Every structure is written in structure tokens, then in C-alpha cells.
Structure 1
């Protein structure tokens, strides 16, 4: 729900930001070849949240789940204590849990043919092999039909969403230009037909007007 809310707010903020930034008449020359326009400023502002987030991640503690997975229970317990203190306002030493379960030992004992051997010292090749062993069942019955359905739905959603997002500005511009130059309303199809490129015959007999200017 939180993620969906963030996406919805972002979809509202971006057009408002564009309305405030893009109309600015800006032609700032930086050096000999680069000119900084208002759309450059818009993209720069849009990139700031990602830049700030990437820097903030450096100062965030590691996930307790990951620490437990690789066998660093004491470090995970410290993170739990800090989160407990921040959420409740109580000292860290009042955290009721004193010891965590040895997850690496349990995972190794309960491992199966689909992977599950999680160790702190595994190599990248071992990690990739274990990951593939856990993903592999998705491509065989009884899961293969469901995964194909999910892939198809996701593909269609992204195709329709991105197509609509890419062409909406052009459609709105075509509607605005037609109403401006023709001073009338009509169907959307007629408006779009006006802006379709038309091939011109090389043997056209259209009148050509040449204006000569003498100096």
C-alpha cells in the first residue's frame, strides 16, 4: 500500500513540477558545446531523489534478516536493539530478546534438492547455482502455466502503460494545434489524420513561388 501510494503521489508531483520548470526560458551556456535548458533542469531535479537515496543507503544498517542468514547473529541483534530503542524510546539493553536462532544451521539441516544451503563463506558461483535451483521449479509443472500467465500479464501491462505514456503528449499537442489553427472542434481521428505525414509526388504540378531579393 505504501509503495502504491508513493507511485501515485509521484505521478501527481511530476506533471506539476514540469508545469513549473519547463516553461522557464533558460539557455545557460556551459562551455563551448553544452547549453543548459529548462528540460535539463527538470531531469536534474527528477534525479535528485535517486541520488539522495543512494547516499542514504550507505548510512543505513544492514538488514537483520541478511545478517542472520550469513551467521552474524550478534550484529543482527544489535540492529534489532537499535530499532527497538528508536521505536519505543527505551534503552537498547531493555530489548527482551537476548539470543537469536542459528538460521544457517537450520537451513543446512533442512536443505533440499531446490537449494537452501546458505553459508557466510559461499562463492558467487555457489550463490548463482543455489538461486537457479530455487527458481528452476517455476519453469516446470505445476507452476509453469501460472508463471507464463504472470509473464504475459506483466508484458501487456507494461506495453500498454509505456505506449500510452509515450504518445499522450503528442496526442494532446495534435488536439491543441488543430483547435488553434482551425478554431473548431471535431473527432479525435480527424485531428490525428491532419498531422499524419503525407508523401508528395515528385511529378507534382503544384505552383512554386520563388522570391528573389536583390542587393
Structure 2
């Protein structure tokens, strides 16, 4: 009887693989708490990426900002994310995902609160750079942390479902702004600090970061991370805790006593961050070298190119869609008997007048909410499909849909058509962004998984910067040019998704997890 049960669970002599060991922990309270924590984390990341659309226009009058100043604030945020990309990946692969996520959130909360009450534009610039620098940690590593607790069959779907909360941030932001920003609040103290509605709004948005930073102390480090370090004893302790919390049974009843070492343990399990910048830089360079050589090179180039094209669209055209909507609506008001074209919109320059009392048109709120709801539905359906189809199908279809929808903007003639296309574009591109992250978790070995995700996110942020610069240069005179460029780049990224290997081809494609890719630990100096 016992032998048949072990055979059923694929456990022989109390020894099994890590993936099967995770499956045997069951699925219950532990995973539910983990998913909620990661959802709040992703929500806070979404706030940081989207708050500029609401905070800075409200701050323009008080701080005397122009459009170029707001552009500089956005670029500062993106540069911070690019600068920190590899640092967080190396730290996460060396010292663990949990520590990096915790400290990044707590420090970012403190910095944002300090900057929210200071009266100087220069400090706001520094704040946005540091926000981008710090939020890059949970923004990429959280998916590794979440996925490494999941059984293989649910891994992609859970990551995709949690991605809903990045989209949820776009639903919460305009509603919160609508309630907070019109408030009449003005508290000052001898030029030391100032507090008004947009600053209160900024503080409210970082409260989830404080919650995550404290809450994550309850949860363990990723068991897969410990296993990649050769710490099978610690890995089993975590798995037993998961089993007990999920099933309500004693830890001693967990059937797995030993794990099969699928990865070659790192040469030095105790390698850590010694605080020396030269040492950390060396580890970053060694880690990147490992991703760009041998069997990992093709998948590194492929995933970087796909994420570049995705973020070129979603954080390029995606940020300019409201402007297209406003121009369509303005054109129809000025010329009610004339059909608008994209070229006609170039005649309508943004209004330079700035209001000191920020208000929000109900139509703008409704359009933003509509796009968020469609994105949530699309993301939810995609999460369900992820567990039933090959992992490349969802990003492939989403990227192609995003590319064709962006191309169709050239032929739009009304704000209503623009809203429909905007909903399709945002929903498909955001979902593709999340599922590309889950693909990376599947394709790269654990010892460089976090670094790999940070690398492709860096490539994506570079794409986002270039796209914004492109739109800023051409939008007022030749807005059809960036539309076609975005469509071509996104469609090419979608076609590249055809090259993503199937799960059962993983070992042939990148050499499998048995390959010695722990290049950081192999540094003998």
C-alpha cells in the first residue's frame, strides 16, 4: 500500500525532484497569503509607474514646471530603473529574493515620504530617480519569488493572475486622484516642508510599500533559491512549513525526506555581498557574461528583444494614447462637420495653460476606467489559458494583437474609435509584458533567474525611453511616424515569440538546469 502511494506521488525512497516536492506541499493557506502579498507588491509597482500622469500635472503650477520639466522627471524614473537593473538581479541571486524586496520597499517608502513634503523641484528629481532605482527590485524580482513557490502546472497562470494587479493600479490611480487632488489642503512650515493635495496623494500611493516591507517578514525565502545554493536541508524545512500550513497536518507527515540535486551546487554557498562596490561590480559583470555565452546566449537575446519591443509599445504609445483621445475630442469640437485624421491631429498643439486647481473631466476618468477593466478581463482570461496552452501562445497572440491595434490608429477618425483601440492595445500589451516575465522564469536556471529578469527589464526600459523620445520629437508635427514605428517594432517582437521553445524542449535549448551556469559562485577570487 505504501509503495503504491509513493509511486503515485512520484516519490521513491522518500526522494524526489524539487518540482514534485513543491507539488506535494499542496495548495492552500500558504500560497494564498503569498499571492496576496505579491499582488500588493505588484500594485505598488503599478502606482510608481503610473503616478506621473496625475501627480506632476497637479504640481505644475506650484513648482513652476513646464512640459520639459515633467519629461525630465519621467526620464529620471526610467534612468533609475536602468541603472539598478543588474544590481538587484545580482543581489537577489546572491543573498535571496526576500531581503531585496523587503529593503527596496521600505527604503522607497521613506524616500517618497521625505520628497513628498519637501518644497524643491531638485529634490523631486532626485526622488524620482531613486524611486526608479528602488522599484526596479520588486518590479522584476517579485515574479521570481512568486513563481519559485508554485508547482510547475500553475506557475505561469499564477504569475499572470498576479499581473492583474499591475493593471488594477491603473484603475485605482484615477479614482484616487479624482477624490484626493481636488481637496483644498495647504500646510507649510517655515520653508522646511509643505503639504497639499498632490503631496498627500503621493504619500497615499506608497502606503502599500510599507505594508509589503513589513508583511514579507512573515514569509520564508524562496526554497528554490536555497536549493540552488546547495542548502537542501533549509529547502526541506521550508517545504515542510508550506505543507503544514496548506494541509493543517504535522510537518513530520511531509513525504519528502531528500531532494534530487538537479542543479550543480554553487562552489561557495556562503558567498555574499561584502559591501565593496568593486566586488559587486565584478559579480554583476560575471553574471552578465554567463547570460551572454554558451547555451544561454540565444534565449537571452531572444527574451531581451521581445521585452524591448513590448515596452517600446506599452510605455511609449501607451502613455500617449490619452493625448490622442484629447486631440480627437478637441478636433471634433472645433470641426463638428469634418472627419478627423491622424495628420489633422498634428494641427492641435497641447494647451500650454496650466491650472492651479487640478480637476478631472468625467470622460477622462471613464475612459481610463474602461481601459483598466478591459485589461483586467483580458489578463484574467489569459491567466486561465496559460495553464492550458504552451507558454509562448499568450505573449505571441498578445504582441501581435497589440501590433495590429497600434497600426490601426492611423485610420481612426473619432475619439470613440480611439478608445476601443486603446482598450485592445493596453490590455494585450500589459498581459504580454507579464507573461514574458513568466517565460523567463521557466527558461532560465534558478541561479541566474533573477539576474535574467532584471536584464530583460533593463532592455525593456531602454525601449520605453527611446519610444518616449521618439514620440516627443514627432508628436506635434508628424504623429503618424511614431505610430508606424511602434507598430513595426511590436509586430516584430510578436513574431519573435514564435522562437520561444516549448517547455519540453527546454533542456535541448539552453542545456537544461544541469548545466553549470552558477558563474557568480565560480568566481574564485
TM class, shorter-chain normalised?
A: 0.5 to 0.7
More divergent stretch after superposition (148-157 vs 89-98): 148-157
Name the structure 1 match of 2:177: 18
Q: Secondary structure at the match of 2:249?
A: coil
- In 1, the alpha carbon distance for the partners of 2:254 and 2:296 equals 44
Name the structure 2 match of 1:186: 334
Deviation at 1:154, TM superposition (A): 3.1
Q: For the Cα contact (< 8 Å) 2:226–2:234, is it kept in 1? A: yes
1:107 pairs with one of 255, 261, 264: 264
The change in CA–CA distance for 1:101 and 1:156 in structure 2 (over 3 A counts) is same
1:84 pairs with one of 233, 243, 253: 243
- In 2, the alpha carbon distance for the partners of 1:64 and 1:162 equals 38
The change in CA–CA distance for 1:53 and 1:150 in structure 2 (over 3 A counts) is closer
1:52 pairs with one of 206, 211, 215: 211
- In 2, the alpha carbon distance for the partners of 1:163 and 1:20 equals 24
Deviation at 1:80, TM superposition (A): 0.5
Deviation at 1:69, TM superposition (A): 1.1
Name the structure 2 match of 1:208: none
**Residue-by-residue CA offset, 1:107-166 (whole Å, 9 max, x unaligned):** 26xxxxxxxx5641447546752442233358967975775455334323322123446x
Deviation at 1:25, TM superposition (A): 0.4
- In 2, the alpha carbon distance for the partners of 1:92 and 1:6 equals 33
Q: Secondary structure at the match of 1:75?
A: helix
**Residue-by-residue CA offset, 1:33-72 (whole Å, 9 max, x unaligned):** 4220011110001011122212323332111101111121
Q: Secondary structure at the match of 1:46?
A: helix
Name the structure 1 match of 2:253: 94
Deviation at 1:191, TM superposition (A): 9.2
Name the structure 1 match of 2:308: 151
Name the structure 2 match of 1:195: 351
Task: List 4+ stretches of structure 1 deviating above 6 A.
Answer: 138-143
**Residue-by-residue CA offset, 1:55-98 (whole Å, 9 max, x unaligned):** 32333211110111112111111110111111111111111111
Name the structure 1 match of 2:198: 39
Q: Secondary structure at the match of 1:76?
A: helix
Q: For the Cα contact (< 8 Å) 2:291–2:297, is it kept in 1? A: no
Name the structure 1 match of 2:292: 135
Structure 2 gap ranges (5+): 1-159, 273-279, 354-525
- In 1, the alpha carbon distance for the partners of 2:248 and 2:205 equals 35
Name the structure 1 match of 2:233: 74
- In 2, the alpha carbon distance for the partners of 1:77 and 1:3 equals 26
Q: For the Cα contact (< 8 Å) 1:85–1:92, is it kept in 2? A: yes
Deviation at 1:2, TM superposition (A): 1.4
Deviation at 1:168, TM superposition (A): 7.3
- In 2, the alpha carbon distance for the partners of 1:8 and 1:159 equals 16
Deviation at 1:17, TM superposition (A): 0.9
- In 1, the alpha carbon distance for the partners of 2:208 and 2:261 equals 38
Q: For the Cα contact (< 8 Å) 1:69–1:118, is it kept in 2? A: no
Q: Relative CO higher for 1 or 2, CA cutoff 8 Å, sep ≥ 6? A: 2
Output the TM-score relative to the length of structure 2.
Answer: 0.29
Output the TM-score relative to the length of structure 1.
Answer: 0.64
Q: For the Cα contact (< 8 Å) 1:138–1:147, is it kept in 2? A: no
More divergent stretch after superposition (48-57 vs 77-86): 48-57
- In 2, the alpha carbon distance for the partners of 1:155 and 1:137 equals 28
Equivalent pairs counted in the alignment come to 177
More divergent stretch after superposition (188-197 vs 144-153): 188-197
- In 1, the alpha carbon distance for the partners of 2:284 and 2:302 equals 27
- In 2, the alpha carbon distance for the partners of 1:191 and 1:70 equals 60
Q: Secondary structure at the match of 1:32?
A: coil
Q: Which has the higher helix share?
A: 2
Q: For the Cα contact (< 8 Å) 1:28–1:35, is it kept in 2? A: yes
User: What's the Cα RMSD here?
Assistant: 3.7
The change in CA–CA distance for 1:41 and 1:80 in structure 2 (over 3 A counts) is same
